[in-house]
Structures are given as structure tokens and as C-alpha cells.
Amino acid sequence: MICVQDTRRLMANFDALRSSEILPSGEDAKILGAFYTDTQIAEFLVRWAVRSKDDRVLDPSLGGGVFLRAACERITTLHGTPSSQVYGIEIDRNVHVRIRDKLVDEFGVKRSNLRNSDFFDTERSQFDKIDVVVGNPPFIRYQRFNGDSRRKALEKSLENGVQLSKLASSWAPFVVHGVSFLKQGGRLAFVIPMEVAYTAYSIPILKFLHNSFREVTFLTFQKKLFPDLNEDTLLLLADDKGHGPGKFLTRDFSHAGMLRYQEFKNTSEVFDRTEIDSRALTEAERRLIEGTSNNALTSPNLGSERHPASVF
């Protein structure tokens, strides 16, 4: 078994995975919706979601491997066996091969656990029961998210009882399909666009999350998580699948560095959250989040399908 010291020593080797010769960039990245996640964000989400040495973890769009690396380290810390508990899917063949080989070589992850496939071609039956789904779903706006890709994604959502608008971006069906892989009591931790806070097409997603989980937390940031992107993002923490309808909570941070103070030693609870009116949100009477400094608030009157991103 690889020890924690080994995993920390090997982290430097993964820095090369961010290079343009390995990961898609520019127009290719836009087409794939591939915007890769900072290590501290991935480690925070994994630390919140992975709670047992036996937890099985899936990243449905593994990209640069940052979430699966964090999962391997977390499971090792908990005295589990990451080689058989970590799973990933990646649609880009070149990225898949390079990241797969790194994870196999350095953490012993089974090759069969890391698949080169479209997530929407993947069935729940192809994996063991999953405790945690974690990642940063592709963000492709509806103008590019079209053809067979959109058809398959919307069909998967409908299979799970969620009818999405054709104006939905790619992250929305990713959330729905991702939840379907979770076992009872499972947890989902995603980076998603702030669009969930103000678009009409997000209302079915909010209803689905409300009905599926005991507790759903939205973490927002006054300083962008991805400074080079036009799109603001937030962190979605959905806890205890199968025990909804649940409640919605929110917490606003000044910047992502504040996450380091959320230790999760004896509890998975994020400190100082505020509960928000789930009925008003799911009935489209209020937007999810529109905040002022250090104070995330709901605000009335959901506007157009694509309301200007006035939050923060």
C-alpha cells in the first residue's frame, strides 16, 4: 500500500499534467468544456466528501486527475485501498491515457477503473456502488452543446425524472447523471457554474437536488475560483442521497484560501452556513444566491432564461 508520505512526495509529478502538451487548451478546451481545477479546491471537496476508508469515489470527467489524486491521498490517509476504490471517466483519449498511466503507476489504481468514454454512454451498472461522486463537470454553453451529445445528455436526465430545457449547459445533465451513480447515503461534490443561481433552466436541477438529498450546500466566493474565465463558479455539496426532501444552505467566502480552515476532523459540516428557503427556490419565486460582502442572500423574481450574472 502506498503511504501518505509517498503520495505527498509524488504530488510534484502531477504538476506536469497541467501542461498544454497533455491537457487540451484553447478551442479544444472550449469544445470539451475542459477547465481544470486548482488543487486546493479538489482537496477540499474530496476531504468533505470522502469520510470512510471504504468509500468508493468516481470522477465522471477526470481531466487532469486532480480529484482522483486527492481521493487516492485521502483514502490512503484513512487506511483504505485507493487502487480498488477510485474510478474515473474521461472522454478525451490523449488525456485519458496520460492521466490513467500516472494514476496506475503512482497509486496502483486499476486500469479497468479508469475509462475512456463519454459519461452519457456510461451506465450505473458498469460500476460498483459509489459512495462519492466528485469533480468539475464540463461547462459547454447550449450554443456548442448540441447534436448527439446533447440528445444523449437530455435523455439520461429524463431517465432520472428531470426534464431539462434545450438551453441547458452541459454541467446540468452531468449533475443529474452523476447523482444516479450514488448509493443510498452517498455524497456529490462538484464545481459548477453560477448559472445554477439565476437561470430558469436550473430550476429542475434545484428541485432534483432538494428531493434527492438531506442537505445541499452552495459555497460562493467573492474572488473568482477561475480568474481567467468569464463564468463565475460555486461549490456544490450534496449530502446523504435518498433522504430528501432536504434543506438548502449557503456560505459566502471572500476567497478560496478560506477553505483551509474547514478541517472536517469530527464532522463534515461546513461552518457558519445560512439556511435558505427551498420552497421559494424550487418554485422559481426567488433566485438561489445574490449576495453582498460576506452575506449570501436570496433575492426575489427570477428573471429571464439567462439573467445577467449580477451575483458578487
* pLDDT averaged over 10-residue windows placed end to end, the chain, 312 residues: 39 38 42 56 94 97 94 96 96 94 96 95 90 90 67 92 88 95 97 90 94 95 78 92 93 84 64 82 67 38 36 28
How many alpha carbons lie under 13 Å from residue 233 in its C-beta half-sphere? 23
Topology (CATH) of 4-215+226-248: Rossmann fold (3.40.50)
* Segment holding 213, helix H or strand E: strand 213-221
Asked if 166 and 198 touch (Cβ cutoff 8 Å), the reply is: no
Asked if 74 and 107 touch (Cβ cutoff 8 Å), the reply is: no
* Segment holding 299, helix H or strand E: strand 299-300
| pLDDT value of residue 161 | 95
| pLDDT value of residue 264 | 60
Comparing CA positions, the residue from 237, 54, 212, 47 lying closest to residue 128 is 54
Helices (H) and strands (E) in the chain, counts: 10, 11
Residue found under cell 456544490: 236
Asked if 163 and 107 touch (Cβ cutoff 8 Å), the reply is: no
Tell me how crowded residue 266 is: count the other CB atoms within 10 A of its CB: 6
Cis previous bond, 24, omega within 30: no
Residue found under cell 475512456: 116
The residue extents of the domains of the chain are 4-215+226-248
Cα–Cα dist 76/85, whole Å: 10
Residue found under cell 447523482: 179
| pLDDT value of residue 20 | 36
| pLDDT value of residue 71 | 97
pTM, entire model: 0.80
Tell me how crowded residue 54 is: count the other CB atoms within 10 A of its CB: 12
Asked if 90 and 118 touch (Cβ cutoff 8 Å), the reply is: no
Cell numbers at 202, concatenated: 436550473
